[in-house]
């Protein structure tokens, strides 16, 4: 399969090339192959040109002068042709590779977007971003200029062999007698390298998946001091990749050493047999003919050696293509892009579930639905109720065809939904999920995702219906306000309302509400619930709600238990039956009786909500620290300094490279004197050279390869650590979105590798070759050497221009790739929301648009790359022309002799071969420079709040007294919007403080300040009287246990997720079970086949919202914190679970300080202190009875909730 894919890519490269040539009218299709072939052949012809006159020009200086001049002109002509043809070959291949890579990216992203949900359940989503960046970059490297340079060198090899056969077939056959061994060695090497490449890319993809999971949940990670554990997980995958990379280096360089051994062995054999032929067949072979054959085959085989680094890129591309095309070609079981399927002209909206049995593909042994049969009539509202995890949300997912049932069918207007067009079906369904997902764009665009053709007026109307218009209108940018990644700049309630507006904007025939108002405060819920009641009039609606007061007016209420429908009817009917629904209602009613008894009939009053964005004050310029983004200059020595622990690898590598680099120019002296030296002696010298050329490249490659792999791992590891070290405010910047950071992690370190490792060995060898050649040239002809040295600045300048142009474009390309990475990560992470909104095409278009810039730039810069490469290639020929022309003049005026000219010329030729090979790597050095700058910019960046800092005081005893003293706060990326202005509240040891108020008033912000996710602009957060800024940060966080409104679990086992609560020690299984029991999740876990070893999936996708919440509570409890922070900790629970968990939390609060945020005021009425926050400050505080007696803000909130 790998070979098939590689051939597919290679063939498409040439076929697309034909289309490029036609479209750009550059040349005929034959001209490209001809340009590559002749470019190689011209290089080989040098041996034929200068050896033809070697036996006779030493006698007649006049004839030699004329011949030398003529050959100088040949070099000028050849150099001009090389300039043109090299430009064309690189230009066309880069153009071809750019188009192919763009197409592969598009096909890959398209294939990922349209996979069925079952595939995402069993795939590490984090690996996909690595495939989109690292793997496809490897493919581009393998099908771009690297493959055309490989073909060029291979054409040189073939041409050299052909010339050898023409001028001496016997000798050529002897030299090529080792070819079968060479071919076998290359075949084994290629297969082994491809296999290792696949494993290496897989290891890096797994590391990328870990990075995505950690960075997406960075608040959870730092809250639980999980940075070291995250670093260990990431480094474990990097270590695996490094180990495989070292094996690749050993494989490659052992093969190279063996090849050199065989090649130079054939040279020794050639001179022995050549001597024999000059003696036995003088009429057919003389020394000149022997040298022609030798040099032709020598140059050919040398070119084959030069092709190896480029062939390595091709092999890497082959390995990367295997994984990429495996996804592209994967059949999609439920494909929203499929045009097939029936599209009814009219949708009535009658839904029926017939004997549905279902298990998630990732857990086929756990039956979620068992024989569910349920009918929903058109225009009616049905409410699904039951304990958490009983299959309610699964039912909704089946209706959207995220999955297909194992048995049974779901019909819409009497037709099986599997026969309907998937996109059409989802377009007619509007959904608001329990955990709403917003995208990193404006509020208006988020609502527009509900319906593409919606007008601005309709957007405003939808916002009004969702009770979002008022808070949006108070924002500085109103509907053009950016909401941040996953809506991070909005409170939970604000996000929920935007999601509701998005669903209402769709005006769907079928409306699905999965806990649509769970994150809203009472006041907002009442208003939004009224809007939803109005919106679902005439529409078929399925509602899931734990707060049963919101669904008592439903046409049908369906009670679920263990995946089956056990009862259905109206509220009154089910209350009379006294079954599942009755039990749930009674449990919930008991909690509300106290407030109902205390309240008289008082009309509901409208409260004004002040969102987190409200412009309550303007912060002075400069009060929020801005950090510069200019890339720093990074000397090459600083990169190498990171390799200091491997100095002895580098030392041995430099030594071996120096020896290897000096061998060819040193033997140029022997080439010059070959006529006067016996061939037997030369054979012995070749044997000596064979030993050097066998072990030197192998040793060089291994030493530099290993040090390079370690450096790459170290750079990735250091970069990841630097990311974990940054404060939360840094992540709020769109420039540091998770997708952007993942792209940097995937590409920067691997591109720096382009200037280290084996490439550093090649550079060292080239420098040594050049220095040795110059020394030899000075000894045998200082006049010619001065001429050559005068040409070197020209060569350096052309390569500097090339590197500079590559660096400039690399910087632009990287920014575009980061934006593309942000888009792809956002889409894939939130694929359920994207699919339910049928916005796969929208994200696909956004992704393509983000790549249009670099795509067009790549097409524009391809001619420049080709031209600079052509100049680098032709410079050698122009220098040769100058050497022959000036050499002829020196000989004619008796300043030197031909032998010395030839020695100087041979030295220059061998040096030029190595320099030419190095110049082909200029783009790699250019990209490496930009990547190194980005890496060191990150490593040098000092976080405002350092999670790794060892500074600060660790209190010997911590009681848990917390005080917020005159707190003023703005989010760093929104300095014009003041969130808190003068917040003052205090809670003593063992007390419970409840923060209440309208959604977005700053309650959750207060908890984030205590966790030191941010620092206040003014005021102090005190812990036991100490400013939290003066305390040891990891110690402070270790004393806090948090349960957030939207809990995030990691893709590991349930036990590991609970153990994550305390990363300072090994948490025993007994403690895990105890915490699970306290959180009312133990029984559920024990009923799973793998119990506590059950994997929860990406972000806990294999669990229901309530199950995730309870595991998050267990995670906080196992920490045994001094201060417990509960941010809507029971919001996702059904009534029965909430009651049990609330009791567990009440028990957990005993003896420790607790800060609670809750919209359901029944959960906080027993708090020691209740603080009502409005306009970013406390407007009243006291106990429940005290505040109730005041009949102020708290009284109004309670009244609104009970009335509702």
25 pLDDT more than 50:
no
Q: Looking at residue 469, what is its pLDDT?
A: 87
179 pLDDT more than 70:
no
Interatomic CA distance for residues 21 and 14, integer angstroms: 10
* Band of pLDDT at residue 1004, cut at 50, 70 and 90: confident
Q: Looking at residue 743, what is its pLDDT?
A: 76
Q: Looking at residue 1133, what is its pLDDT?
A: 64
Rounded to 10 degrees, the C-alpha dihedral 772/774/777/782 comes to: -150
Q: Looking at residue 1054, what is its pLDDT?
A: 92
The residue count for the chain? 1204
Angle of the 898-919 helix axis to the 287-328 helix axis, nearest 10: 0
Q: Looking at residue 812, what is its pLDDT?
A: 57
Q: Of 647, 720, 618, 614, nearest to 214 (Cα)?
A: 720
Which is higher by pLDDT, 329 or 528?
329
Could you say which DSSP state residue 485 is in?
A: G
Mean pLDDT confidence for 416-422: 90
Mean pLDDT confidence for 816-837: 83
- Work out the percent of the chain whose per-residue pLDDT is above 70: 78
| Region of residue 861 (phi > 0: left; psi between -120 and 50: alpha; otherwise: beta) | alpha
- Say which range, 412-416, 489-493, 688-692, 1134-1138, has the weakest mean pLDDT: 688-692
592 pLDDT more than 70:
no
Buried b (16+ CB within 10 A) or exposed e, 774-787: bebbbebbeebbeb
Q: Which residue ranges make up each domain of the chain?
A: 2-333+636-940, 378-398+422-598, 962-1203
* Band of pLDDT at residue 915, cut at 50, 70 and 90: low
- Say which range, 39-43, 160-164, 698-702, 817-821, has the weakest mean pLDDT: 39-43
Burial of 977 (0-12, 13-18, 19+ CB in 10 A): buried
* Band of pLDDT at residue 262, cut at 50, 70 and 90: confident
SS3 for 421? coil
Q: Tell me, yes or no, if the pTM score tops 0.85.
A: no
- Work out the percent of the chain whose per-residue pLDDT is above 90: 5
Interatomic CA distance for residues 965 and 987, integer angstroms: 12
Q: Looking at residue 756, what is its pLDDT?
A: 66
92 pLDDT more than 60:
yes
Which is higher by pLDDT, 234 or 312?
234
Which is higher by pLDDT, 951 or 518?
951
Q: Looking at residue 246, what is its pLDDT?
A: 81
Hunting for tokens 């030191």 — which residue is that?
1012
* Band of pLDDT at residue 1132, cut at 50, 70 and 90: low
* Band of pLDDT at residue 411, cut at 50, 70 and 90: very high
Mean pLDDT confidence for 680-705: 56
Class of domain 378-398+422-598 (CATH, top level): alpha beta
Domains 378-398+422-598 and 962-1203 equal at CATH topology level: yes
993 pLDDT more than 80:
yes
Give me the sheet containing 510-514, strands edge to edge. Answer: 429-432, 510-514, 540-544, 381-385, 556-561, 564-569
Read off the pLDDT of residues 505-514 as tens digits, 9 standing for 90 and up. 888 888 888 8
Domain 962-1203, second-level architecture? 3-Layer(aba) Sandwich (3.40)
1105 pLDDT more than 50:
yes
SS3 for 1040? strand
Interatomic CA distance for residues 158 and 119, integer angstroms: 48
Contacts of 736 (CB under 8 A, 6+ apart): 726, 730
Interatomic CA distance for residues 333 and 344, integer angstroms: 22
SS3 for 1182? strand
949 pLDDT more than 80:
yes
CA atoms within 13 A on the CB side of 1203: 18
Output the DSSP codes for 42-99.
Answer: HHHHHHHHHHHSTTTTTT-HHHHHHHHHHHHHHHHHHHHHHHHHHHHHHHHHHHHHHH
* Band of pLDDT at residue 787, cut at 50, 70 and 90: confident
Buried b (16+ CB within 10 A) or exposed e, 855-870: bebbbebbbbbbbbbb
Three-state SS string over 555-596 comes to: CEEEEEECCEEEEEECHHHHHHHCCHHHHHHHHHHHHHHHHH
- Say which range, 53-67, 190-204, 1105-1119, has the weakest mean pLDDT: 53-67
- Say which range, 386-390, 686-690, 877-881, has the weakest mean pLDDT: 686-690
1184 pLDDT more than 80:
yes
SS3 for 921? coil
Could you say which DSSP state residue 389 is in?
A: T
Highest mean pLDDT among 947-956, 961-970, 977-986: 961-970
Hunting for tokens 């219906």 — which residue is that?
465
- Looking at domain 2-333+636-940, does it have CATH number 1.20.1560.10? yes
- Say which range, 220-229, 767-776, 926-935, has the weakest mean pLDDT: 926-935
2 pLDDT more than 70:
no
Read off the pLDDT of residues 465-480 as tens digits, 9 standing for 90 and up. 888 888 888 888 888 8
The pair of three-digit structure tokens given for residue 834, joined into one six-digit string: 């994207």
Output the DSSP codes for 945-985.
Answer: S-TT---SB--SS----EEEEEEEEE-TT-TTSEEEEEEEE
Three-state SS string over 1046-1097 comes to: CCCCCCCEHHHHHHCCCCCCCCCHHHHHHHHHHCCCHHHHHCCCCHHHCECC
Q: Looking at residue 274, what is its pLDDT?
A: 78
Read off the pLDDT of residues 615-656 as tens digits, 9 standing for 90 and up. 333 333 333 444 445 666 777 677 777 777 877 777 877 777
The overall average pLDDT reported for the chain is 76
Output the DSSP codes for 502-562.
Answer: HHHHH--SEEEEESTTTTS-HHHHHHHHHHHHHHTTTSEEEEE-SSGGGTTT-SEEEEEET
- Say which range, 305-314, 447-456, 1156-1165, 1182-1191, has the weakest mean pLDDT: 305-314
Mean pLDDT confidence for 66-88: 77
Q: Looking at residue 1022, what is its pLDDT?
A: 92
Burial of 404 (0-12, 13-18, 19+ CB in 10 A): middle
Mean pLDDT confidence for 909-935: 67
Interatomic CA distance for residues 693 and 349, integer angstroms: 78
* Band of pLDDT at residue 715, cut at 50, 70 and 90: confident
Give the distance, in angstroms, between the CA of residue 454 and the centroid of all CA atoms in the same chain. 33
The pair of three-digit structure tokens given for residue 441, joined into one six-digit string: 């764009």
Contacts of 698 (CB under 8 A, 6+ apart): 253, 254, 256, 257, 260
Interatomic CA distance for residues 827 and 821, integer angstroms: 10
Interatomic CA distance for residues 1040 and 765, integer angstroms: 58
Q: Looking at residue 687, what is its pLDDT?
A: 46
């Amino acid at each position: 399969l790998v070979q098939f894919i590689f051939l597919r890519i290679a063939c498409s490269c040439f076929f697309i090339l034909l289309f490029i040539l036609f479209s750009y009218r550059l040349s005929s299709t034959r001209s490209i192959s001809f340009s590559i072939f002749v470019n190689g052949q011209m290089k080989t012809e040098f041996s034929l040109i200068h050896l033809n006159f070697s036996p006779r020009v030493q006698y007649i200086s006049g004839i030699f002068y004329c011949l030398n001049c003529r050959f100088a002109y040949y070099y000028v002509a050849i150099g001009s042709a090389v300039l043109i043809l090299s430009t064309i070959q690189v230009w066309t291949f880069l153009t071809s590779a750019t188009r192919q890579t763009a197409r592969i990216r598009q096909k890959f992203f398209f294939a990922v977007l349209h996979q069925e949900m079952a595939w995402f359940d069993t795939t590490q989503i984090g690996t996909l971003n690595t495939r989109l960046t690292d793997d496809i970059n490897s493919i581009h490297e393998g099908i771009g200029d690297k493959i055309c340079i490989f073909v060029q060198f291979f054409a040189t090899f073939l041409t050299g062999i052909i010339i050898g056969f023409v001028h001496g077939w016997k000798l050529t056959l002897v030299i090529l007698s080792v070819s079968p061994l060479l071919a076998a060695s290359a075949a084994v090497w290629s297969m082994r390298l491809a296999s290792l490449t696949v494993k290496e890319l897989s290891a890096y993809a797994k590391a990328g998946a870990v990075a995505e999971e950690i960075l997406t949940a960075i608040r959870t990670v730092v809250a639980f001091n999980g940075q070291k554990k995250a670093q260990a997980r990431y480094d474990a995958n990097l270590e695996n990749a490094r180990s495989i990379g070292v094996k690749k280096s050993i494989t490659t360089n052992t093969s190279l050493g063996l090849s050199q051994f065989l090649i130079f062995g054939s040279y020794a054999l050639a001179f022995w047999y050549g001597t024999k032929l000059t003696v036995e067949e003088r009429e057919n072979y003389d020394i000149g003919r022997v040298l022609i054959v030798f040099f032709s085959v020598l140059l050919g085989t040398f070119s084959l050696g030069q092709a190896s680094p480029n062939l390595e890129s091709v092999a890497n591309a082959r390995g990367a293509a295997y994984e990429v095309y495996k996804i592209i070609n994967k059949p999609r079981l439920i494909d929203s892009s499929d045009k097939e399927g029936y599209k009814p002209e009219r949708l009535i909206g009658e839904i029926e579930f017939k004997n549905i049995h279902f298990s998630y593909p990732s857990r086929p042994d756990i039956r979620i639905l068992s024989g569910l049969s349920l009918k929903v009539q058109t225009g009616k509202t049905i409410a699904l109720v039951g304990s958490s995890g009983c299959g309610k949300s699964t039912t909704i997912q089946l209706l959207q065809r995220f999955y297909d049932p194992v048995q049974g069918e779901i019909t819409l207007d009497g037709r099986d939904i599997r026969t309907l067009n998937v996109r059409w079906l989802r377009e007619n369904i509007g959904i608001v999920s329990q955990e709403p997902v917003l995208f990193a764009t404006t509020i208006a665009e988020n609502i527009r995702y509900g319906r593409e053709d919606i007008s601005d007026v309709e957007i405003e109307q939808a916002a009004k219906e969702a009770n979002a218009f008022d808070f949006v209108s108070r924002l500085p940018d109103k509907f053009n306000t950016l909401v941040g990644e996953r809506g991070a700049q909005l409170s939970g309630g604000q996000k929920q309302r935007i999601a509701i507006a998005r669903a209402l904007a769709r005006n769907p025939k079928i409306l699905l509400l999965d806990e649509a108002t769970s994150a809203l405060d009472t006041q907002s819920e009442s208003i939004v619930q009224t809007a939803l009641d109005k919106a679902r009039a005439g529409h078929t609606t399925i509602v899931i709600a734990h707060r049963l007061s919101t669904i008592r007016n439903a046409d049908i209420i369906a009670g679920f238990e263990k995946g089956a429908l056990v009862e259905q009817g109206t509220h009154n009917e089910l209350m009379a039956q006294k079954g599942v629904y009755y039990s749930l209602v009674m449990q919930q009613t008991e909690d509300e009786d106290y407030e109902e008894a205390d309240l008289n009939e008082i009309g509901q009053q409208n409260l004004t909500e002040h969102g987190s964005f409200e412009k309550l004050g303007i912060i002075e310029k400069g009060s929020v620290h801005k950090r510069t983004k200019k890339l720093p200059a990074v000397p090459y020595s600083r990169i190498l300094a990171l390799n200091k622990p491997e100095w002895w690898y580098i030392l041995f590598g430099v030594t071996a490279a120096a020896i290897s680099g000096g061998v060819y120019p040193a033997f140029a002296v022997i080439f010059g004197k070959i006529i006067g030296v016996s061939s037997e002696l030369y054979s012995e010298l070749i044997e000596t050279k064979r030993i050097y050329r066998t072990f030197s490249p192998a040793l060089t490659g291994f030493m530099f390869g290993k040090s390079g792999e370690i450096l790459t791992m170290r750079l990735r590891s250091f970069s990841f650590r630097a990311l974990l070290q940054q404060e939360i405010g840094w992540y709020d910047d769109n420039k540091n979105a998770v997708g952007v950071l993942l792209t940097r992690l995937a590409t920067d370190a691997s591109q720096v590798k382009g200037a280290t490792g084996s490439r550093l060995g090649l550079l060292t060898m080239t420098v040594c070759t050049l220095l040795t050649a110059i020394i030899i040239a000075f000894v045998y002809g200082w006049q010619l050497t001065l001429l050559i040295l005068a040409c070197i600045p020209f060569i350096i300048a052309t390569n500097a221009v090339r590197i500079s142009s590559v660096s400039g474009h690399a910087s632009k390309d990287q920014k575009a790739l980061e934006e593309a990475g942000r888009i792809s990560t956002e889409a894939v992470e939130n694929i359920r929301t994207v699919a339910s909104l049928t916005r796969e095409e929208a994200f696909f278009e956004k992704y393509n648009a983000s790549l249009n810039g670099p795509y067009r730039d790549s097409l524009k810069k391809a001619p420049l790359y080709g031209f600079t490469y052509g100049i680098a290639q032709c410079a050698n020929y122009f220098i040769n022309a100058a050497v022959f022309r000036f050499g002829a003049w020196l000989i004619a005026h008796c300043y030197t002799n031909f032998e010395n000219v030839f020695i100087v010329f041979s030295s220059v030729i061998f040096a030029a071969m190595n320099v030419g090979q190095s110049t082909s790597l200029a783009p790699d050095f250019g990209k490496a420079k930009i990547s190194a700058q980005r890496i060191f910019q990150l490593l040098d960046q000092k976080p405002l709040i350092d999670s790794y800092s060892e500074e600060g005081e660790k209190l010997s005893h911590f009681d848990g007294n917390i005080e917020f003293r005159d707190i003023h706060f703005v989010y760093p990326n929104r300095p014009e919007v003041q969130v808190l202005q003068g917040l003052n509240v205090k809670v003593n040891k063992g007390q419970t403080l409840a923060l209440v108020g309208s959604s977005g008033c700053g309650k959750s912000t207060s908890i984030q300040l205590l966790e030191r996710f941010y620092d206040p602009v003014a005021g102090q957060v005190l812990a036991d009287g100490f400013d939290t800024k003066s305390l040891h940060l990891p110690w402070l966080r270790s004393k806090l246990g948090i349960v957030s409104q939207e809990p995030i679990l990691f893709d590991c086992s349930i036990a590991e997720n609970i153990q994550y609560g305390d990363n300072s020690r090994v948490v025993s299984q007994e403690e895990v079970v105890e915490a699970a029991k306290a959180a009312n999740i133990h029984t559920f876990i024990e009923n799973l086949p793998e119990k506590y070893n059950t994997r929860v999936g990406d972000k806990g996708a294999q669990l229901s919202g309530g199950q995730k919440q309870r595991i998050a509570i267990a995670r906080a409890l196992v920490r045994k914190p001094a201060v417990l922070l509960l941010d809507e900790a029971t919001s996702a629970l059904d009534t029965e679970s909430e009651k049990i968990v609330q009791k567990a939390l009440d028990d957990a609060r005993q003896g420790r300080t607790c800060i609670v945020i809750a919209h359901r005021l029944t959960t906080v009425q027993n708090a020691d202190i209740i603080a009502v926050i409005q306009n970013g400050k406390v407007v009243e505080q006291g106990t429940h009875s005290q505040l109730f007696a005041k009949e102020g803000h708290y009284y109004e909130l309670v009244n609104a909730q009970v009335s509702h």
